[in-house]
Amino acid sequence: MSDSSRHFDVAVVGCGTTGLTLAHLLASAGVRVAVIDRWRLPVSFPRATHLDDETMRIFQTLGLTHMESRYIGVGTYRFLDPDGRAVMEFDMHRGKTEQGWNSDYMFHQPDWESVMRGFIQESDSASAYYGWQVLAIEDADDVARLLLRDASSGVETGISASYVVGCDGANSVVRSVLGSEHVDYAATHRSLIVDIEPFVTSPGLPPNLDTFIQAGLRNPVTFLYLSRGMLRFEWLLRPEDDTREFERLDRIYGLLEPWFRPSEYRIARADMYRWQAVVADRWRSHRLFIAGDAAHEMPPHLGQGMCSGVRDATNLAWKLPLVVRGEAPPELLDTYESERKPHMTVFVETAAKMANQIEDMVEVPAHLEPPPVEERGPLRPLMGPGVFAAGGRWAGTLSEQPRLADGTLLDDVVGFRFALVGTDSVLGDVRDTAGPSLRRFGIQVVSASSDEFAAWLSRLGVGAVLIRPDRYVFGTANSPAEVRALISRLEALIQEPQAALFADVDSAT
């Protein structure tokens, strides 16, 4: 491969939600980042549509709170039998949660990507290669080299980077170079996805932004409200169904007839998708990483595909700057896979189970009585082994986001940094005794002076919490001495991360 003319700390390949989240957080930390995407402009139609409260909290950190007014809420998500009876439901309208935001939103991905690309354009630390295709990647001992081609002119150029993160989707180029294989959770399905802009209101659709999946039909159907007044319908195809038959326009009109006449809407999108439930067996090889759909895919029924990719990005986004600045060894990056892979596998397995339940119900006679309605809350899995303190039950769990006494949300005070939150009596004189370590890792000390903070600490049964930049709890303390020990443990794990890989977070919590 030819010599690279420009060098970056990190090259992010793929500018969907995962790649843009990672690139923006890295650039905000002063990391020199190349952002590469084969499309010159953002997507023109929504692919991802749902985000949860944890993801909205990350969007808050990205500077996207002004976009919340453009999102819509979500009602109840019902799993219906052929007669329309609910056999399972999720309450998706829980109001404000402990994350400081509503439990669920529907958003318009093209708007989101446009804003994020604007942030990249405004950054002095980021260089955008939009409309450039990655032709080759060389993972050398000292650097990774990438050969790029401009799709419009055919011009080729080379760049180099200390690390490359493939956020380039299910057909990832980076994953193929990395040599990772898929672990299959046996939930491969085809679906016809149709987005429409209705001109009238259909009485056959649920009120209150409610969503449904109706199983037991020959082709089970999913319905959901999108932002901007759009509606989405998805039909699950059976193995023997002909894809071309379902792509015919007259067939699409026929599928929509229970709710709309052909003259009552505009078809904005009609695509065939192949869903899988897979997890890559390796997420890192030397200087190469994969994240988002490049590392894992799942059926859409949990609405967690995009959310999982954003979690990948925030995990890497606080570790990579420490490594490229020489403040932590490269082995710290091994904890990305050890932490994230077990966590998101819970979502893949759950989504696969739901997808298979829907398909299995095609074979269930409609006259059988359905099981009782099942209500479920949000999934909050524990992170896998990594940079977490042992000896406390809350390490590796998602932190809450209380408001300070003046009403400010915690993350708005902290930024994308470590936060040490606690009562004054437990924090003690930590600002003086641990000052060098606090400054070294950018740990923001916050006094828990509000009722919300007091209530959270009381629920945990602790006096102080050390929170990582990705908002997961590193560990807790109940005395000034334990606080100092907690900071020392963080420092030790960052400097010797291999010790973290042999720790079992679950057994230590």
pLDDT for position 376: 60
Task: Return the CATH number of the domain spanning residue range 6-60+107-181+279-346.
Answer: 3.50.50.60
Could you tell me which residues come within 8 angstroms of residue 272 by beta carbon, excluding any fewer than 6 positions away?
Answer: 190, 191, 192, 193, 243, 246, 247
pLDDT below 50 — which residues of the chain? 1-3, 366, 371-373, 505-509
Question: What does the pLDDT read at residue 500?
Answer: 62
Torsion of CA 422, 425, 431, 436, to 10 degrees: -80
- Reported as half-sphere exposure (CB side, CA atoms, 13 A), residue 172 has a value of 34
- The model's pLDDT over 367-404, given as tens digits with 9 standing for 90+, comes to 555 544 455 667 899 999 999 998 778 999 999 999 99
Non-local (6+) Cβ contacts of 69 within 8 A are none
Which CATH number is 410-508's, of 3.30.870.10, 2.60.40.2300, 3.50.50.60, 3.40.30.120? 3.40.30.120
Measured CA to CA, the distance from residue 289 to residue 165 in angstroms comes to 5
Which backbone phi and psi does 418 adopt, to 5 degrees?
-70, 145
CB count in 10 Å sphere of residue 349? 15
Predicted local confidence at residue 132, as pLDDT: 98
Note the pLDDT of residue 363: 54
Judge if pTM exceeds 0.75: yes
Q: Indicate the DSSP class of residue 371.
A: P
Asked if domains 6-60+107-181+279-346 and 410-508 share a fold, the reply is no
Q: E strand or H helix at 13, and its extent?
A: strand 6-13
pLDDT, tens digit, 9 for 90 and up, residues 439-461: 999 999 999 989 999 999 999 99
The residue extents of the domains of the chain are 6-60+107-181+279-346, 410-508
